[in-house]
Amino acid sequence: MTRWQPNARGRLRQAALELYGEHGFDETTVAQIAERADLTERTFYRHFSDKREVVFSGEVHRVLVSTIADAPASMTPIEAITEALLAAGAVLDERRDMTRLRQAVIAANPPLRQREQTKYAAIAEDLAEALRGRGVEPSSARLAAEAGVAVFRTAFDRWIAGDEQRDFGQLVRDTLDKLAAVISG
Amino acid sequence: MTRWQPNARGRLRQAALELYGEHGFDETTVAQIAERADLTERTFYRHFSDKREVVFSGEVHRVLVSTIADAPASMTPIEAITEALLAAGAVLDERRDMTRLRQAVIAANPPLRQREQTKYAAIAEDLAEALRGRGVEPSSARLAAEAGVAVFRTAFDRWIAGDEQRDFGQLVRDTLDKLAAVISG
């Protein structure tokens, strides 16, 4: 007997992040997550392959890469990167509180912090590949991709700070201006 | 009875990297390294804490950070970063063949590749801290540091390519120009 389960994925994510924050990532079981979300373990595994995938769903990664790939051919690399950062920002702005909870979980767990570094490196590689796919010369593609990730991370850290009210897009534009000022010396 | 051992550290590094390349990092023992260098295991451990430290000695890391810290106060962040990259380049140019050997060892071993990512993240953090120590505002310090690491890595990959003849400093200047062109759109 399957009941209709509105927003099961969102409820599971919320329950998981709360439990990771309260008891620690390692100490939390999928059974506990399902119980708090009032769903079954089987439903959990329909949405996530494991506990860690709740933290690293890859959604922002996919939005960044697909936006570069789909950007108009007339856009320069930095224009395409900017579009991608703004598109990711639109996703993030809808879940600011949950992202703050998520980031506290990562900060408290060294293997998750390590995983986060690896994810950022993978994002930079995929952005560079997407730019090369637009015909951008490899060194420039890589520099634009690395600059994009640096801007993302800097804007992100400002955006999740408890007293920051500006949305992600505003912080991206401000951070891009800072980067341009730094590079021009 | 202690014999005089000219350039023991360099001989141990050369022997270790050769063996890592021939047999694999995991398969090589310190006894084998000492034997090939015609030195003792005890001498090895006077120079390196373990097999991995031969690959990640931290010398370039230290040169980068200390150059920023010692740069004249009048230098802008990107000028200080440029000085640091050129100073690291002077170290690297003296050991280009050994660095090519080292990079092949890293490429062949996933845990070493992971370690390399972690080291680059640590370098970026330390460069940002050194810039903040010069009074640079935190977001700008971080962006300059991340840009510096991106330029380093891009120049480095070009520099170790088999057919590349230009020295590290020339590639750094060329890569900085590319980054400026990318950022200005």
Do A36 and A69 belong to one domain? Answer: no
Instruction: Indicate if B28 and B106 belong to the same structural domain.
Output: no
My answer on whether A95 and A14 are in the same domain is no
Query: Among A33, A49, A65, where does a domain finish?
Result: A49
Looking at the structure of chain A, the number of domains it has is: 2
Flag whether B2 is in a domain: no
The Cα–Cα gap between B38 and B55 comes to: 20
Q: Provide, rounded to the nearest whole percent, the portion of chain B with pLDDT above 90.
A: 91
Question: Quick check: is A145 in a domain?
Answer: yes
**Residue A155, pLDDT score:** 96
For residues B38 and B118, state if they share a domain.
Answer: no
DSSP string, A113-170: HHHHHHHHHHHHHHHHHHHHTTT--HHHHHHHHHHHHHHHHHHHHHHHSTT--S-HHH
Residue B3 maps to a domain: no
Q: Is residue A62 in a domain?
A: yes
Query: Which residue positions in chain A have pLDDT lower than 70?
Result: 1-5
For residues B179 and B95, membership in a common domain is answered with yes
Q: Tell whether A40 and A65 lie within a shared domain.
A: no
Reference A152, options A58, A72, A60; nearest CA is: A60
Cβ distance A181 to B146 less than 8 Å, yes or no, reads: no
A contacts of B182 (beta carbons < 8 Å): 77-78, 140, 143-144, 147
Q: Which two tokens stand for residue A108?
A: 């408290």
CB pairs under 8 A between A and B: 87
Determine whether the interchain pair B147/A151 forms a contact, defined as Cβ–Cβ distance below 8 Å: no
The residue of chain B nearest to residue A149, with distances taken between CA atoms, is B146
Do B21 and B105 share a domain, yes or no?
no
The reported pTM is 0.88
- Tell whether B64 is covered by a domain: yes
Please determine, for residue B3, whether its predicted confidence score (pLDDT) is greater than 70: no
Contact A146 B158 (CB under 8 A): no
The residue length of chain B stands at 185
Burial of A144 (0-12, 13-18, 19+ CB in 10 A): buried
Q: At residue B35, does pLDDT exceed 60?
A: yes
Contacts of B77 in chain A (CB under 8 A): 182
Mean of pLDDT values over B20-48: 96
pLDDT at position A2 is 57
* Residue B46 CB contacts under 8 Å (≥ 6 apart), including other chains: B8
Burial of A135 (0-12, 13-18, 19+ CB in 10 A): exposed
What integer pLDDT is reported at residue B114 of this predicted model?
Answer: 87
Q: What is the pLDDT of residue B162?
A: 83
Question: Residue B104: pLDDT above 80?
Answer: yes
Q: Pick from A172, A126, A181, A118: which is nearest to A150 by CA?
A: A172
* B9 pLDDT above the threshold of 80: yes
Evaluate whether residue A74 is within a structural domain. Answer: yes
* Domain co-membership, B166 together with B116: yes
Q: How many CA atoms lie within 13 A of A86 on its CB side?
A: 12
Mean pLDDT taken over chain B: 94
> For residue A76, what is the nearest residue in chain B, using CA coordinates?
B185
Contact B175 A147 (CB under 8 A): no
Q: Are residues A90 and A110 in the same domain?
A: yes
Task: Identify whether residues B68 and B109 lie together within a single domain.
Answer: yes
**DSSP letters along chain B, please?**
-PPP-TTHHHHHHHHHHHHHHHH-TTT--HHHHHHHHTS-HHHHHHH-SSHHHHH---HHHHHHHHHHHHS-TTS-HHHHHHHHHHHHHHHHHTTHHHHHHHHHHHHT-HHHHHHHHHHHHHHHHHHHHHHHTTT--HHHHHHHHHHHHHHHHHHHHHHHSTT--S-HHHHHHHHHHHHHHHHT-
Return the pLDDT at A133: 95
As a whole number of angstroms, the distance between CA B160 and CA B110 comes to: 19
Distance from CA of B177 to the nearest CA of A (A): 10
User: Any idea what the CATH number is for the domain that residue B30 is in?
Assistant: 1.10.10.60
> Same domain, yes or no, for B48 and B95?
no
Residues B79, B17 within the same domain: no
> Is there a domain that residue A1 lies in?
no
**Quick check: is A36 in a domain?**
yes
What are A's interface residues with B at a Cβ cutoff of 8 A?
Answer: 76-79, 114, 117-118, 121, 139-140, 142-144, 146-147, 149-151, 153-154, 158, 175, 178-185
The CATH number of whichever domain residue B172 belongs to comes to 1.10.357.10
- Whether residues A121 and B117 touch (CB distance < 8 A) is answered with yes
Q: How confident is the model at residue B95 (pLDDT cuts 50, 70, 90)?
A: very high
Q: Residue B18: which domain range? A: 8-54
Q: What ipTM was estimated for this complex?
A: 0.84
Q: Which residue has the tokens 């690399």?
A: A77
pLDDT for the residue numbered A118 = 87
- pLDDT surpassing 70 at residue B4: no
pLDDT of residue B71: 95
Chain B hits for A140, CB-CB cut-off 8 Å, are: 178, 181-182
